[in-house]
Structure 1
Amino acid sequence: MSHTNIRPVRGRLSAPQGAALYIGAVLGTGVITFPALAAEAAGPASLLAWLGLVILSVPLAATFAALGARYPDAGGVSTYARLAFGERTAAVVGWCFYCAVPPGASAAALFGGAYVSSALGGGRTTTAVTAMALMAVVTAFNAVGLQMTGRVQLALAALLVLLLLVAVGLSLPHARMDNLQPFAPHGWTAIGSASVLLVWSFAGWEAITHLAAEFRRPTRDLPRAAGAAVVVVGVLYLAVAFAVVAVLGSAAADTDAPLGDLMAKGFGGNARLLAAAAAVLLTLGTMNAYYAGAAKLGAALGRDGALPSWLTRGSMVGEAPRRSLGVVSGLAFVVLLAVVTTDAGVEPLVLLANGSFVAVYAIGVAAAVRLLPRRSKGRAAALAALVAVVALLAMSGRYLVWPLVVRGAALVYLRISGRRGTAEPTRRADTAADVGERTLSP
């Protein structure tokens, strides 16, 4: 039988849709809350933390884009860890990301809900109901399939970028350079504390790797999408952070809705409804990207034996991983219910997610150093990113407790399920390379 008529299965995501997914995953809820939290931690010197993490994003995004283009697989960082270090490490990093999404999604939904309750009233009830509605909408989007996800994300990204640019542009005439003094009221070491806090705002460069095989041409589209997203995210984060500090001054540390206050300065009067609309768009974008990536990852982990095989359906290109999506969504609702009933607040959720993201970054970048060709731009980016991620690990401290707990659970599962991972990594490496070649062939 001739193979000339066999056409490779291609994804449907375009470079613009991929850039929108990146923007949604990285920009997200960080821009509606964390400029104020960072200003509280380090004062105007928090701008240096923002700048440092924007600079870090360049090699980090380039590293994961290079990995995704070379090994387009739903397992994402888990696949790269398998090829570089073996099955156990792959299971650990996969579990770390998969278990970070439910608490992270709950925190994101509550951030968006807080803006709505600020605009409409109703306190905790409005916040909780809005958070549940956001989760339900994102679950429905992803249940339809990735083609719908890409189109929705592109529209959301365009709207939120426009809204943020308008808010910053109209508020900047009210900026005062006096608000930048004293520049480091809490000392220079506070920049490190602000940087660790801001990891939440820059997590996401690894999330789209789980969707690499869904791109039409991963080798071309994924780097383009990542490059465009780095520019957009960097400019917007720095612009919003500067506007919050220079326009709001000392009040920036006391507000729960800095974007709303900026809009009030720019538009005049009460801009809370507009701020709530922006917060909802940003929250939808973040959750949409993470639900899509985590659902694909869960299916890949089921396929590879790191999670129950029941989750495998949806791991192939073009398939909607509805079973894995149901698990992610269900866990997120459970976490949200626990937070609402105990009034624990979102800080514990942020700490859980941040620790996991730093651990995922560390393993993913280390895998890139081992997997990417020597003297390639991707490997050079990985070496630069590795230095920065090691510094983040050193500053993370207690944030790493959660990924250590998850690591233990993953290894226990592997032992109980009988997964040993001896010769499997080598075989998987060959298989992943073959799949990549078939996916990328014209």
Structure 2
Amino acid sequence: MSRVTSPAAATGGLSVLQGTALTLAAVLGTGVISLPALAIGAAGPASLVAWVALLVVSVPLAATFAALGARHPDGGGVATYARLAFGERAATMVGWSFFLAIPIGAPVAAGFAASYVADALGGGRTTEVAVTAGIIGIVAVMNWMGIQVSAAVQLGITGVIATLLLVAVVVSLPDIEGERFTPFLTHGWSGVGSAAALLVWAFAGWEIVSSLSGEYRHPARDIGRATAITLVVVAVLYLGIAVATIGVLGAATGEAPLADLLAGALGGWARPATAVVAVLMTVGAINSYFAGASRLGASLSVAGAMPAWLGADIAAGARTPRRALAFVAGLGLVVTVGGALLGHDTDATLLATTGTFALVYVVGTAAAVRLLPGGWPRVAALVSLLASAVLVVLTGPAVLIPVLTGLVGLCWPRRRRAQPASDAVDRAIGGDTVVAEPLR
């Protein structure tokens, strides 16, 4: 037996604006902080082709996950869709892969902001590690206080970030030089592919909508609206920053391109200000992922696919999955400190994390092909599935890491899920539900 949620049910308290803020933070996230420079290093000016291509791919991808979230609002997210479409084994594999990717990827995201702080204040590696750990701790506290508090803070952070990024683009326009776009294809088409593999990080986030879908007041109506707003904002800001970075900085861009853009246009005082923006962006992005991952972990635990203690508070009727949250934050800190002791950069696990996102997209979109009705939802799912498969290929061998993680989850001794004593469990992990036979 599998849980299928009622799409019309008002299951949580998130408004369209709050949902947009969480989605925008997850997608926009930390990618715009450092990835423009990394993409230029991989493909030169032609990295702009990778940005545009991934934006185009984002349209059907966002539409697919929005349609899934509206139709099946549930805290399990992609794992739930995999269960409904392909059975428990597929759900367990993708659930384990995505859940464990978040604490491993969080230090990467926080490390992007930490490099800005170190650039502004000095201190080198020590400053970066301290800031990374601090960001993870702040986000854990925000989520510990509940989704409503977290979403309210997120709304303010996202508004400030979007405004300042738009300012960065506008003030940089007079300094753009056409010759910086030539020669255009400096590293060949293979360089564009390499840039696209890196930029998957910048476009990951649509899948988190599914894990938060049960928190919306009216999922069937509000998820689509939040997704559409996010798409427009992300397209404008990403393309603007990418063009400005190439046209103003070119190959000379450093690790903190956003700071370089603002400092060049407004003066040196903008560099520490940009560090603050970078920290806010990172807090916002990790906040969205911690919110989604903790609910996913609790959902998997209640379903018997993860250790019972991970979701014990949710099984007892709690609204906030604090045990799963503590595990995610704790493992993120362990990865941060362990990487520092071993002398590894915080972005050492970047490709492994993006490989997980790409693999999750493949599973999620394949499930959508089976679960969504005919017409444009099915077409969007098919296009998204093909695009996701290409992203997996571009990621290369790093995609084997989430595959191995999924296999570990498959070997975990599965518990038989007990029937919940009340509706509190179902409300906590995804809203009011009805029980139905799995779709196979």
Do Structure 1 and Structure 2 share a fold, with TM-score over 0.5?
yes
- d(CA) in 2 for partners of 1:201 and 1:314? 32
Give, in angstroms, the shift of residue 250 of structure 1.
2.1
Q: What do the CA deviations read for 1:76-130 (whole angstroms, capped 9, x no partner)?
A: 0000000000000000111111011011111111111111111111111111111
Partner of 1:39: 40
User: Is 2:436 aligned against 1:435?
Assistant: no
Partner of 1:304: 303
Partner of 1:201: 202
Partner of 1:129: 130
Q: What do the CA deviations read for 1:148-195 (whole angstroms, capped 9, x no partner)?
A: 111111111100000101111101100001100000111122111110
Partner of 1:48: 49
- d(CA) in 1 for partners of 2:144 and 2:238? 31
**Contact 2:23–2:209 (CA<8 Å) still a contact in 1?**
yes
Q: Aligned AA for 2:372?
A: L
Percent sequence identity over aligned pairs: 48
Partner of 2:423: none
Q: Give the stretch that moved more between structures: 21-30 or 268-277.
A: 268-277
Give, in angstroms, the shift of residue 318 of structure 1.
8.1
Q: List runs of 5+ in structure 2 lacking aligned partners.
A: 1-8, 418-425, 436-440
- d(CA) in 2 for partners of 1:288 and 1:202? 16
- d(CA) in 1 for partners of 2:116 and 2:431? 46
Distance change (3 Å), C-alpha of 1:256 and 1:432: closer
Partner of 1:185: 186
1:16-31 mapped onto 2 (5 Å cutoff) = 16-31=17-32
Q: What do the CA deviations read for 1:227-278 (whole angstroms, capped 9, x no partner)?
A: 11011111111100110000112212xx010001000122123421011011
**Contact 2:109–2:286 (CA<8 Å) still a contact in 1?**
yes
- d(CA) in 2 for partners of 1:318 and 1:25? 25
- d(CA) in 1 for partners of 2:342 and 2:240? 36
Secondary structure of the residue aligned to 1:189 is helix
- d(CA) in 2 for partners of 1:357 and 1:19? 20
User: Is 2:391 aligned against 1:387?
Assistant: no
- d(CA) in 2 for partners of 1:315 and 1:263? 49
Partner of 2:152: 151
Q: Give the stretch that moved more between structures: 363-372 or 402-411.
A: 402-411
Distance change (3 Å), C-alpha of 1:330 and 1:195: same
Distance change (3 Å), C-alpha of 1:117 and 1:305: same
Distance change (3 Å), C-alpha of 1:211 and 1:317: farther
Partner of 2:414: 417
Partner of 1:352: 352
- d(CA) in 2 for partners of 1:260 and 1:171? 12
- What TM-score results when the alignment is normalised by the length of structure 2? 0.91
- d(CA) in 1 for partners of 2:263 and 2:28? 21
Q: Aligned AA for 1:228?
A: I
Distance change (3 Å), C-alpha of 1:237 and 1:33: same
Give, in angstroms, the shift of residue 314 of structure 1.
3.2
Distance change (3 Å), C-alpha of 1:245 and 1:305: same
Secondary structure of the residue aligned to 1:269 is coil
- d(CA) in 1 for partners of 2:137 and 2:218? 31
Distance change (3 Å), C-alpha of 1:352 and 1:182: same
CA RMSD of aligned residues (A): 2.1
Partner of 1:333: 333
Partner of 2:87: 86
Secondary structure of the residue aligned to 1:35 is helix
Partner of 2:323: 323
Q: Which runs of 4+ in 1 moved over 6 A?
A: 315-318, 431-434
Q: Aligned AA for 1:144?
A: M
- d(CA) in 1 for partners of 2:390 and 2:325? 33
Distance change (3 Å), C-alpha of 1:149 and 1:418: closer
- d(CA) in 2 for partners of 1:142 and 1:211? 13
Q: Give the stretch that moved more between structures: 86-95 or 267-276.
A: 267-276
- d(CA) in 2 for partners of 1:126 and 1:432? 39
**Contact 1:74–1:315 (CA<8 Å) still a contact in 2?**
no
Q: List runs of 5+ in structure 1 lacking aligned partners.
A: 1-7, 421-427, 438-442
Partner of 1:425: none
Query: In the comparison of the two structures, how many residue pairs are matched?
Result: 417
Secondary structure of the residue aligned to 1:390 is helix
Partner of 1:370: 370
